[in-house]
Amino acid sequence: MFTYVGCSFLDVHSVFILITFGSEIKMSKDIEAIRQAVIEGDAESVASLTKKALDAGIDPLDILEKGISEGAQTVGKQFENMEIFLTELMLSGEAMMAGLEVVLPQLKSEDVPHKGKVVVGTVRGDVHEIGKNIFKSLLVANGFEVSDLGVDVPTSKFVEEAEKINADIIAVSALMTSTLGGQKDVIDFLEQTGDREKYIVMVGGGPSNQEWADEIGADGFAETAPDGVRVATQLIEKRRA
């Protein structure tokens, strides 16, 4: 039998650091593979690599933000620089959706208290849904009840649905400079119908920012879906205080 007698130069703390460091390298490799498969537009690989990463215990949020979203950023730049064309953009879009299908159901709510009701959708003329879907799933996982209107949503539909479910928040996503005005349209519509004060309006998605949100009189903006959940929670708490 082997008996360990010597004094190791590695104390428990160092071993812990080495293990942590090792698993971080492994995590970034798994996430990098997902990012790469998104860029290549390989839906099958994105789905299987995402499953593998989840099985390895990688946080779903890291997969979403560092794998899928960062892949999307790269693809967006390539498309803008005309290094890839619409077919490739579409393949990457499908690959992102394939990853989402695997990862979003993992964002389970852990008996969180009910926080409020939200209507989400992407504005008229815009079919980008990936960020909106992530935001919706994170809201649900954090105790919000969400009605998702999908994409290319007519302005009035946001308000009709909010009235129907007695929503607290209307959250409007837009991904293109040409459709960003759709967020302002929702606010203008609420003002015209005298319903502006009834709802908290949040905006988000690629081209929107805090300055834009202030300019159109939105109540909240967030750059990422996790921040969006924090802002939604704060706005509801403030309103109820």
Contact of 111 with 141, CB cutoff 8 Å: no
Binding mask 151-170 for ligand B12 (x = CB under 6 A): --------------------
132 binds ligand B12 (CB under 6 A): yes
Strands 144-148 and 169-173: unpaired
Least gap, CB of 21 to ligand B12 (angstroms): 27
* Burial readout 186-195 (b: 16 or more C-beta within 10 A, e: otherwise): bbebbeeeee
Helix orientation angle between 86-103 and 70-80, rounded to the nearest 10 degrees? 170
234 binds ligand B12 (CB under 6 A): no
205 binds ligand B12 (CB under 6 A): yes
Q: Which is nearer to ligand B12, 17 or 127 (CB)?
A: 127
Q: Which is nearer to ligand B12, 19 or 127 (CB)?
A: 127
Assigned token pair, 76: 């967006």
User: How many Å is the maximal CA-CA distance in the chain?
Assistant: 84
- Residues in the site for ligand B12, rule: CB under 6 A? 69, 72-73, 75-76, 79-80, 86, 89-90, 92-93, 96-97, 125-132, 134-135, 171-173, 175-178, 202-207, 222, 224-225, 228
